[in-house]
Amino acid sequence: MTDPLSTLAILHGTDKFGYHDYTPNYFKLLAHLRDKPVKILEIGVGGYADVDRGGQSLRMWRDFFKNGEVTGIDIQKKTLDFGPRVKILQGSQVDPDFLHEVIAERGPFDIIIDDGSHRNEHIVESYHLLFPTLAPGGIYIAEDVQTSFHPRFGGSLTLDEPNSVGFFGILMQQLNTDSDDPLIQDVAGMERYHNIIALHKRDTTRADRDVFTSSLFERFEHKLPKLIFHGRDDVDLTALTKLTGPTATAQNDSAADIAIWTLSEDAPFDADILEARLSDMGDNSVLVLRSDDPAHDFDPNGEVMEYAMYRFTLVDHVEILVHYPEATIDALAPMVYSIERTHDALTFHKSPNAYPSNFAYDAKNPQASSALDQMETVLADATDEGGLVQYAEILIRHRSREAAAGILKRLEKLGATSREFYLMAGALAQRERRLDDAERLFTTALLKFKNDPQFSVMLAGVKIGKRQLETAEEILRNAHETSPRARAVIAQLIKVLTLRGNLPEAIDLARKSVTMFPQPDRPGRFVLLGQLLRQENRPDEARNAIQKALDLAPDNPDALIELAEQALIANDVQSARHLVEKVQAAHPANPSLAALLKRITD
């Protein structure tokens, strides 16, 4: 059954459900605040640089917290309007002055969610700036901390500073110290899930969090959960039974729903024993490792906290393997769904933890497949395009365009107008050779998103297919004038100019634009320039362009083949043959080889 927050996530099309499995955990974290007049701050609106895109999760929070006030901040300008209870402000998540203004105008916040740049240094710095301003009893959530293991975001396998998982892991280890640092002292507890770390701020007017008040135990309500004790068996379970009702006794770990291990001289910590107990327990069971002397047993440099840090890191074992396939991951990692840390306890929730990374999404993964089934069910009668667009996009990327065809037809009947809808529906029409439909969709999109580079390129592509080259050129020139550095527009305009026989302008544009493309693409751009110069009968310049390509990529097959073409024109058959044989040895399936070999042989 899909929880209410995940249902809203699906309907509004936020990737917090589907590509990620966040909202089931957010529901567990935040459901008790649903009817309260909370103030929520979310860093990151989404939609990248487009002023009219993003905000799906802001709408989800607005609808979930009916009495709440939602604030979104983003480095990019946004013109979205989600009603009087939602406000979007432009600024950086690490700009102290801007954040001070946001808090003064809209805070203090009860919930802060960092879904911003995902760069490790930004996650750590935002926590330093914002956690002290969080309302007492509030919840601070760092999302997408899988970037701790992603080099492009400053991550590493060794958690080199600044690193979000490393930073929060050390903070977890230090909760029992006498630190006067409010970033540690004011943390009442922490929860660790796949890609998420949540911190509960201490409320000095209330007692510290009791491990047994965790909503993790609500799953056992009225189910007569079976308990087993290791060490003391006279633990105060008042808070637990208030959630679950009566309990029963298990004779061994494999029969237990909840195992409670109290550390003592008679029951000292042993990582091997803990792992054996967790391995024996069934899915959706809970092991509580607690202490009557946490200052001693949970010493930051002690054995328990060293192990806790290890397990805290491995919650993201799926993400680690995406970027470090040779990393050592133990057999227990896929079985530990979450870890909770309170002042006197560590709690391990045993349940499958194998949801795929968004960097290597697998729709066939059992957990991801179940999520897609839930999306299909929730969206069966949906009339809001947001969720349908997100679902169609996942189907197209991870199943097929045809799998999304029915959803796209529904969206068209609903009068969908989002950028994503036009892109998907138009691309499907092109794939099915329905050029008139593709033309209509992209033309409508360009009326809404004037001179948009992506739609300009796609409509021009349709016009090229219909041999309407003059119109295609006009569309691309307009887009190029508005976005002179849009690489897709440049590439398509060069193609149209070439087809129309305007080689001098095509050459000029190709030459000027080489450095606009990323380094890996530049050999190909020089090859194109060489081809155009050859067609324009400028052999010296053509050879020079190909030499530049080979300087960047000495074995580039396209550059070698173009050089062979140029050798043939110069009647140097021997050099052409040598170049073709070199390509054939390394790239025997290259589609250009057969025709070129035939010409050499003839």
Which string of DSSP letters, residue by residue, matches 142-181? EE-GGGGG-GGGT--TT-PSS-HHHHHHHHHHTTTS----
* DSSP-derived pairing of the beta strands 336-342 and 187-193: antiparallel
* Ranges of H-type helices in 219-365: 238-244, 271-280, 294-297, 303-314, 317-323
Report the distance separating Cα 102 and Cα 123, nearest Å.
Answer: 18
- Catalytic residue (one of 12, 20, 32, 118): 118
Q: Is the peptide bond before 108 cis (omega within 30 degrees of 0)?
A: yes
Give the containing element (helix H, strand E) for 301: none
**What φ, ψ does residue 266 adopt, rounded to 5°?**
-85, -20
Contact 324, 158 (CB under 8 A): no
Which string of DSSP letters, residue by residue, matches 390-450? HHHHHHHHHT-TGGGHHHHHHHHHTT---HHHHHHHHHHHHHTT-HHHHHHHHHHHHHHST
Contact 260, 229 (CB under 8 A): yes
Q: Who's near 11: CB < 8 A, 6+ residues apart?
A: 378, 379, 382, 384, 386, 387
- In the residue annotation, 323 being an active-site residue is answered as no
Residue 341 is encoded by which pair of tokens?
A: 């840390």
Closest CA to 74 of 52, 102, 43: 43
**Please, is 149 exposed, middle or buried when counting C-beta atoms within 10 Å of its C-beta (0-12, 13-18, 19+)?**
buried
Residue 527 is encoded by which pair of tokens?
A: 């090859």
Residues labelled catalytic: 118
